[in-house]
């Protein structure tokens, strides 16, 4: 069961990366081009970690996710910043990104090691990305042009995936140490692993559907 979910998880990332590449022209017109290399790198990251942990099961992957979180926040900040109907909130997007990067720099220089997973920073990144999504939704539902609303509809699917995904895994990250210490499981599956994987299948599935809609809705 564990391996089945893991392969579905990896497959969902690969499918979204392939979809992003196939429908890249539609992504370009909707300011989503950054997701093409991003998703490819995420897949290579997760595949590399899969083989690495098979060789070294007790090894820490903290540094990987400590880097992944700020990169992800910057990618989505960049995407939402470039949307034409989001411009009046661009200053807030920049402020949130700047605050997060400042907290990251202070934390890893003075408070914690970058080699140990910092679940608080992961939760904070997810919270800010969710804020980006909510800002998008507020602006999207405020559109009064039906043609414009239809054109940007694919991003609605992606954003709904984001605002559901990050709060759920935020709970998992917030209690990561406790779940790890008590070896909390569900039908033999470790909760701190299975929750992010199952939710990621949902998230990357929403990405793939978004990319398809970018091609379908012209």
* Share of residues in the chain with pLDDT > 70 (%): 89
194 has a pLDDT exceeding 80: no
pTM of the predicted model, to two decimals?
Answer: 0.91
Written as six digits, the tokens of 126 are 């997810």
pLDDT of residue 175: 67
User: Which is nearest to 197 in space by CA: 1, 54, 8, 50?
Assistant: 8
pLDDT at 201: 94
The model's pLDDT over 135-180, given as tens digits with 9 standing for 90+, comes to 999 999 988 888 889 999 999 999 999 999 999 988 776 666 665 6
pLDDT band (50, 70, 90) for residue 74: very high
- Torsion angle, CA of 136/11/16/18, rounded to 10 degrees? 170
Tens-place pLDDT, residues 179-191:
565 555 555 566 6
Tallying the residues shown for the chain, one arrives at 218
Q: Under a CB-based contact definition with an 8 Å cutoff, are residues 159 and 133 in contact?
A: yes
Share above pLDDT 90 across residues of the chain, in percent, rounded to a whole number: 65
Q: Using CA atoms in the order 188, 42, 86, 134, what is the torsion angle rounded to 10 degrees?
A: 10
What is the 3-state secondary structure of 140-208? HCCCCCHHHHHHCHHHHHHHHHHHHHHHHHHHHHHCHHHHHHCCCEECCEEHHHHHHHHHHHHHHHHHH
User: What is the pLDDT, as a whole number, of residue 93?
Assistant: 94
Q: What are the respective helix, strand and coil percentages of the chain, to the nearest 5?
A: 80, 0, 15
What is the per-residue pLDDT across 23-72, written as a single tens digit (0 to 9) for each? Answer: 999 999 999 999 999 999 999 999 999 899 888 888 888 899 999 999 99
């Amino acid at each position: 069961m564990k391996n089945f979910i893991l392969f579905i998880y990896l497959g969902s990332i690969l499918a979204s990366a392939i979809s992003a590449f196939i429908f890249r022209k539609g992504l370009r017109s909707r300011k989503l081009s950054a997701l093409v290399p991003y998703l490819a790198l995420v897949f290579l990251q997760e595949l590399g970690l899969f083989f690495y942990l098979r060789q070294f099961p007790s090894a820490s992957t903290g540094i990987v996710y400590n880097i992944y979180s700020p990169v992800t926040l910057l990618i989505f900040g960049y995407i939402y910043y470039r949307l034409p109907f989001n411009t009046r909130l661009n200053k807030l997007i920049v402020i949130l990104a700047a605050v997060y990067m400042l907290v990251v720099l202070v934390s890893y220089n003075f408070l914690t090691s970058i080699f140990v997973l910092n679940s608080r920073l992961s939760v904070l990144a997810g919270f800010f990305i969710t804020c980006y999504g909510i800002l998008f939704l507020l602006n999207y539902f405020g559109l009064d042009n039906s043609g414009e609303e239809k054109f940007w509809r694919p991003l609605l699917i992606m954003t709904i995936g984001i605002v559901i995904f990050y709060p759920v895994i935020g709970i998992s990250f917030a209690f990561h140490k406790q779940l790890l210490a008590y070896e909390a499981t569900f039908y033999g599956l470790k909760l701190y692993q299975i929750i992010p994987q199952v939710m990621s299948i949902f998230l990357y599935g929403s990405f793939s559907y978004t990319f398809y809609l970018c091609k379908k809705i012209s």
